[in-house]
Amino acid sequence: MCIDHKMMCKCGTLTASLNFRDEIMPVEVVNRIFCPQCAADVSFNAENMLRDNDWIIEYDMDVARFMAHKLSGAEITPEYLFDQGYCTWRGVYPTDHIDSVKEREELVKLAKINPRKYLDEIKKWGIDRMERLAQEGWRKAHAGQ
């Protein structure tokens, strides 16, 4: 089970949605999130931050290490927290779950008219979309490649 949580970036301009896999890490594991605009002024520290396509998540590594007893001997790093889903975007990028619904709206209409074509088109859309997101530099889009 994943818990969804929305957070505002440091400058208050954008919102990011995060998932917390199996409720192992609490929301307090995130100190701050920086959108591309406010990330430009951040001194990046790889020991407690993860950069994903100009967004930065700043983790509270003390909280992460404290909760790590639930993660059988894993080395707790920002990359581990993000890539293993313990504190990661809901979807491929911060607003993916909203944008993907909008992108699929036209295809869903096709399902009622021509289900076979709908299956072909939704499959093509998914493949093309992940390729585009990977080219844009989103970390999770590269995971399946």
Q: How many CB atoms lie within 10 A of CB 112?
A: 8
Is the model's pLDDT at 43 over the cut of 90?
yes
Rg (Cα) of the chain, in Å, rounded?
17
User: Does pTM surpass 0.75?
Assistant: yes
Is the model's pLDDT at 144 over the cut of 80?
no
Confidence of residue 54 (pLDDT cuts 50, 70, 90): very high
Confidence of residue 100 (pLDDT cuts 50, 70, 90): very high
Between residues 67 and 69, which one has the greater pLDDT?
67
Average pLDDT, stretch 6-13?
95
Average pLDDT, stretch 83-91?
94
Can you give the residue ranges of every domain in the chain? 2-89, 96-142
pLDDT of residue 130: 94
